[in-house]
């Protein structure tokens, strides 16, 4: 795995780190101190939902059970997202060290990486990396001489389903079932994999933890805004000169990000992947932060030549395909929203019906069982609202009718 | 199916179960292994897996139909899958698809007569910074042009 490392620069995640150092540091700390550091850092989950990481670890640590699990969510299926791929290829030490730290803190003996099937080409090198850790006693029994602390990691391959990134669907999948989200509560921290307390963390959340453990929460809090601490990895793609993964402090203006990546003639920015929201140029002075525009880190840039209706159609086709079909608002709702896009294309959509569809979209947000159906109306509502003029000219052969 | 083929499948399933365990949570890894070796999971394989993991064959069937990487029908020896998600779409995936269809004489979703290649779409490969992207079996290729895509596919044995 060595040698693939690129020269990436960033204040936290891409800062210097030595393999094993978080494990070494954590094993010299009490579990309470580790939890305190995490709480003090203000770290929130980077998988999209933004749940405080310390709370999740605390709840799993407090659950009483003979067996607990720590799962690294490497399903990364959100269109426009690829930061976890970069971490796994170039910085596996950050991800795996934090899993060991997590195992120690919450009392888990087994770590499982749920790796999306599309990333199967990473499997061999990741397994080699884990073997190297075993050789150096960073995994296995009595890790680094800590009596009674046993922990190992295995990798489980997904089979091409987006919804399996949702943590309860992921657990269903691990147990050998269809990836259908579960009702919550009970939450995985109490009843997770095999009915045991399970903590599910995103790849980037884990990578950040390794740095916080070594360098301390006070250092981490130097970065970001008062409400959004630290930094975030952004997967930036689309119409720009320098697409790629960037580590940025929370609180950056969208217009500054566009400048940074060499985006010209930008008309629209989709933030948070297909399930995120689409902003127009009047909103580019907003900031990327939990208190303004929160995001799992995907930014897709569209220039003036793009048809936003085509963009929306692509997103809705994705959701129709990836809905697990378990609950009606999502299964039917997404089909209705996609139909509406086609009706606009054919100049058949009345504004009366559009009003009904907006109500449907709101219903989906409330009534869907999992985050897929709760968030899939986002692009529909934001694109229809923010690009009204363009879209309702479209069918009449407006300026952007042909890409 | 010939007896030999059947016993070959049974051997493979046994090997996989020895590796992943005789329980329900071994189901996906076992299916993955069979899919990889035979490129589909036959009715016979489904029944054997169900029997050995002590679950109903319908359960195995329903899991296979849920996951897009698992199939019940044989496909070509090589799977060429082109990303159709938003970034690849805007970076020219249509031109690549057309070039491949033209070159191979088949449409998306079809298999060449000699059973060598199946063409398919898939969703975002997580390589949007290097779009357009495609996968040939479990390897990925990025920054494609129609010409480059055709060249890669022509190299497939
Ligand atoms: C449809 C759907 C897909 C998701 N995909 C992912 C994913 O690929 N990776 C991820 O880390 N979280 C994903 N999540 C969020 C997870 O459910 C969960 O919140 C997350 O893994 C928790 O980790 P964190 O607290 O570190 O963010 C997804 C959620 C939904 C609803
Ligand atoms: S919201 Fe959609 S993906 Fe989630 S459980 Fe319901 S049907 Fe399945
Ligand atoms: S959109 Fe094609 S790789 Fe992400």
A68 within domain boundaries: yes
Per residue of chain B (157 residues), what is the pLDDT tens digit?
Answer: 788 889 999 999 999 999 999 999 999 999 999 999 999 999 999 999 999 999 999 999 999 999 999 999 999 999 999 999 999 999 999 999 999 999 999 999 999 999 999 999 999 999 999 999 999 998 999 999 999 999 999 998 7
Mutate to test the pocket of ligand 1, among A49, A98, A189 (most ligand atoms within 8 A of CB): A49
Q: Does A177 sit within 8 Å of B67, measured CB to CB?
A: no
A residues 344..373 contacting B (CB < 8 A): none
Among A326, A318, A327, which Cα is nearest to A337's? Answer: A318
A346, two tokens: 């054919």
B40 within domain boundaries: yes
Centroid of chain to Cα B91: 24
Same domain, A123 and A210: yes
Same domain, A208 and A341: no
Judge contact between A312 and A380, C-beta under 8 A: yes
B73 within domain boundaries: no
Whether A138 shows a pLDDT value over 50: the answer reads: yes
A residues 243..272 contacting B (CB < 8 A): 243-245, 270
A113 within domain boundaries: yes
Q: Taking each helix axis from N to C terminus, what angle separates A203-215 and A31-41, rounded to the nearest 10 degrees?
A: 110
- Going by CA atoms, what residue is nearest to atom 24 of ligand 1? A45
A8 within domain boundaries: no
Nearest by CB: A159 against B26, B32, B62? B32
Judge contact between A236 and A246, C-beta under 8 A: yes
| Average pLDDT of chain A to the nearest whole number | 95
Same domain, B49 and B7: yes
Using DSSP bridges, classify how beta strands A266-271 and A298-303 pair: parallel, antiparallel or unpaired.
antiparallel
Judge contact between A207 and A91, C-beta under 8 A: yes
CATH number assigned to the domain comprising residue B40: 1.10.10
**Residue A294 CA, ligand 1 centroid: distance in Å:** 14
Q: What angle do CA A131, B16, B11 make, to 5 degrees?
A: 135
Sheet containing B117-122: which strands, arranged edge to edge?
B117-122, B78-83, B134-136, B139-141
Q: Does A173 sit within 8 Å of B28, measured CB to CB?
A: yes
Judge contact between A258 and A240, C-beta under 8 A: yes
CATH number assigned to the domain comprising residue B102: 3.40.30.10
Q: Confidence band (pLDDT; 50, 70, 90) for A2?
A: very low
Q: Confidence band (pLDDT; 50, 70, 90) for A193?
A: very high
A225 within domain boundaries: no
Nearest by CB: A80 against B26, B87, B138? B87
Q: What angle do CA A296, B120, B36 make, to 5 degrees?
A: 85
Same domain, A183 and A322: no
Same domain, A252 and A170: no
Same domain, A148 and A82: yes
Q: How many residues does chain B have?
A: 157
Same domain, B52 and B103: no
> What is the C-alpha to C-alpha distance for residues A243 and A299, in angstroms, rounded to an integer?
10
**Residue A197 CA, ligand 3 centroid: distance in Å:** 34
pTM for the whole structure: 0.96
A2 within domain boundaries: no
Same domain, B88 and B150: yes
Termini Cα distance of chain A: 42
Judge contact between A251 and A225, C-beta under 8 A: yes
Same domain, A67 and A196: yes
Contacts of A321 (CB under 8 A, 6+ apart): B123
Same domain, A331 and A216: no
Termini Cα distance of chain B: 26
Q: Taking each helix axis from N to C terminus, what angle separates A203-215 and A92-106, rounded to the nearest 10 degrees?
A: 80
Whether A92 shows a pLDDT value over 80: the answer reads: yes
Judge contact between A19 and A93, C-beta under 8 A: yes
Same domain, B98 and B133: yes
Judge contact between B14 and B51, C-beta under 8 A: no
The mean pLDDT value for A338-362 works out to 96
B146 within domain boundaries: yes
How many domains does the structure of chain B reveal? 2
**Residue A3: its pLDDT value, please?**
42
CATH number assigned to the domain comprising residue A393: 1.20.1440.230
Q: List phi, psi (to 5°) of B144.
A: -75, 150
**Residue A371 CA, ligand 1 centroid: distance in Å:** 9
Ligand with minimal distance to B135 CA: 3
Judge contact between A134 and A140, C-beta under 8 A: yes
**Residue A49: its pLDDT value, please?**
84
Q: Please indicate if any CB of chain A lies within 8 Å of the CB of B138.
A: yes
CA distance B59 to chain A (A): 8
Same domain, B58 and B89: no
Centroid of chain to Cα A366: 21
Mutate to test the pocket of ligand 3, among B81, B87, B97 (most ligand atoms within 8 A of CB): B87
Centroid of chain to Cα A207: 13
Q: Does B131 sit within 8 Å of A318, measured CB to CB?
A: no
Say what the ipTM of the complex is. 0.97
A116, two tokens: 């999306």
What is the helix (H) or strand (E) element at residue B72, kind and residue range? Answer: none
A9 within domain boundaries: no
Q: Does A82 sit within 8 Å of B90, measured CB to CB?
A: no
The mean pLDDT value for A31-38 works out to 98
Q: Confidence band (pLDDT; 50, 70, 90) for A48?
A: confident
Supply the range of the domain harboring residue A279. Answer: 231-303
Contacts of A345 (CB under 8 A, 6+ apart): A309, A313, A394, A395
Same domain, A122 and A82: yes
Q: What is the DSSP secondary-structure string of A270-319? A: EESSTTSEEEEGGGTT-EESTTSB--SSEEEEEETT--HHHHHHHHHHHH
**Residue A6: its pLDDT value, please?**
66
Ligand with minimal distance to A182 CA: 2
Q: Does A161 sit within 8 Å of B68, measured CB to CB?
A: yes
Whether A1 shows a pLDDT value over 50: the answer reads: no
Q: Does A237 sit within 8 Å of B131, measured CB to CB?
A: yes
Contacts of A328 (CB under 8 A, 6+ apart): none
Task: Please classify residue A216 by burial: count the beta carbons closer than 10 Å to its beta carbon, then call 0-12 exposed, 13-18 middle and 19+ buried.
Answer: middle
**Residue A7: its pLDDT value, please?**
77
A1 within domain boundaries: no
Same domain, B104 and B59: no
Whether A398 shows a pLDDT value over 70: the answer reads: no
Same domain, A289 and A317: no
Among A166, A201, A178, A160, which Cα is nearest to A69's? Answer: A201
> Which ligand 3 atom is the nearest neighbour of the CA of A82?
4
Mutate to test the pocket of ligand 1, among A42, A118, A167 (most ligand atoms within 8 A of CB): A167
How many domains does the structure of chain A reveal? 3
**Residue A77 CA, ligand 1 centroid: distance in Å:** 9
Q: Confidence band (pLDDT; 50, 70, 90) for A4?
A: low
CATH number assigned to the domain comprising residue A205: 3.40.50.11540
A residues 289..328 contacting B (CB < 8 A): 300, 302, 306, 310-311, 314-315, 318, 321-322, 324
Task: Kindly state the DSSP code that residue B83 receives in the 8-state scheme.
Answer: E
Judge contact between A324 and A259, C-beta under 8 A: no
CATH number assigned to the domain comprising residue A250: 3.10.20.600
Whether A396 shows a pLDDT value over 60: the answer reads: no
Q: Does B124 sit within 8 Å of A80, measured CB to CB?
A: yes
CA distance B93 to chain A (A): 13
- Tally C-beta pairs within 8 A across A and B: 118
Supply the range of the domain harboring residue B42. Answer: 3-66
From B66, B86, B112, the end of a domain falls on B66
> Which ligand 1 atom is the nearest neighbour of the CA of A73?
11
Helix/strand/coil for A108:
coil
Task: Kindly state the DSSP code that residue B157 receives in the 8-state scheme.
Answer: -
Nearest by CB: A121 against B67, B69, B138? B138
A3 within domain boundaries: no
**Residue B1: its pLDDT value, please?**
79
Specify which residues A278 forms β-bridges with. A270
Judge contact between A388 and A308, C-beta under 8 A: no
> What is the C-alpha to C-alpha distance for residues A39 and B9, in angstroms, rounded to an integer?
52
Same domain, A64 and A175: yes
> What is the C-alpha to C-alpha distance for residues B32 and A117, in angstroms, rounded to an integer?
10
Same domain, B83 and B132: yes
Same domain, B62 and B113: no
Q: List phi, psi (to 5°) of A331.
A: -60, -50
- Summarize pLDDT for A57-87 with one digit per residue, the tens: 999 999 999 999 999 999 999 999 999 999 9
Same domain, B34 and B96: no
Whether A5 shows a pLDDT value over 80: the answer reads: no
């Amino acid at each position: 795995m060595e040698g693939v490392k690129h020269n990436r620069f960033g204040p936290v995640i891409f800062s210097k780190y030595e393999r094993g150092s978080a494990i070494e540091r954590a094993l010299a700390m009490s579990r309470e101190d580790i939890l305190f550091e995490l709480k003090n850092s203000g770290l929130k989950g980077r998988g999209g939902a933004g749940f405080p990481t310390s709370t999740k670890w605390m709840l799993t640590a407090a659950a009483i059970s003979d067996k607990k699990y720590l799962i690294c969510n490497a399903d990364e299926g959100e269109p426009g997202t690829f930061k976890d791929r970069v971490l796994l290829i170039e910085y596996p030490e950050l991800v795996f060290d934090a899993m060991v730290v997590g195992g120690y803190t919450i009392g888990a003996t087994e770590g499982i990486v749920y790796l999306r099937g599309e990333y199967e080409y990473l499997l061999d090198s990741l397994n080699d990396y884990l073997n190297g850790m075993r050789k150096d006693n960073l995994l296995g029994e009595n890790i680094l001489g800590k009596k009674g602390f046993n922990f190992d990691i295995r990798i489980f391959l997904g089979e091409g389903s987006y919804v399996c990134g949702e943590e309860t669907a992921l657990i269903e999948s691990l147990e050998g079932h269809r990836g259908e989200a579960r009702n919550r509560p009970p939450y995985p921290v109490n009843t997770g994999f095999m009915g045991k307390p399970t903590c599910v963390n995103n790849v980037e959340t884990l990578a950040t933890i390794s740095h916080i453990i070594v360098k301390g929460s006070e250092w981490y809090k130097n970065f970001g805004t008062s409400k959004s601490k630290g930094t975030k990895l952004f997967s930036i793609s689309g119409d720009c000169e320098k697409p790629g993964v960037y580590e940025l402090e929370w609180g950056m203006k969208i217009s500054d990000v566009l400048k940074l990546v060499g985006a010209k003639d930008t008309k629209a920015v989709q933030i948070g992947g297909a399930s995120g929201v689409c902003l127009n140029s009047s909103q580019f002075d907003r900031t990327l932060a939990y208190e303004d525009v929160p995001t799992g880190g995907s930014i897709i840039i569209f220039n003036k030549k793009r048809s936003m209706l085509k963009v929306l159609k692509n997103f809705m086709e994705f959701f129709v395909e990836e809905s697990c079909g378990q609950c009606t608002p999502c299964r039917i709702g997404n089909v209705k929203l996609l139909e509406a896009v086609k009706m606009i294309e054919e100049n058949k959509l009345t504004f009366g019906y559009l009003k009904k569809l907006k109500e449907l979209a709101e219903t989906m947000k409330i009534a869907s069982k999992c985050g897929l159906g709760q968030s899939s109306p986002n692009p529909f509502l934001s694109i229809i609202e923010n690009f009204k003029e363009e879209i309702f000219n479209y069918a009449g052969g407006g300026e952007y009718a042909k890409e | 199916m010939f007896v030999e083929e059947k016993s070959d499948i049974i051997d493979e399933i046994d090997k996989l179960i020895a590796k992943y365990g005789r329980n329900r949570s071994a189901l996906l890894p076992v299916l993955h292994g069979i899919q990889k070796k035979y490129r589909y999971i036959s009715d016979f394989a489904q029944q054997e897996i169900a029997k050995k993991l002590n679950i109903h064959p319908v359960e195995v069937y329903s899991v296979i139909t849920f996951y897009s990487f698992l199939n019940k029908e044989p496909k070509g020896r090589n799977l060429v899958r082109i990303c159709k998600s938003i970034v690849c779409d805007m970076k020219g995936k249509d031109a690549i698809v057309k070039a491949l269809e033209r070159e191979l004489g088949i449409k998306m979703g079809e298999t060449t007569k000699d059973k060598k290649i199946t063409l398919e779409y898939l969703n975002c490969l997580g390589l949007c910074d290097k779009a357009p992207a495609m996968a040939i079996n479990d390897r990925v290729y990025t920054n494609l042009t129609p010409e480059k895509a055709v060249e890669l596919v022509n190299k497939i044995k």
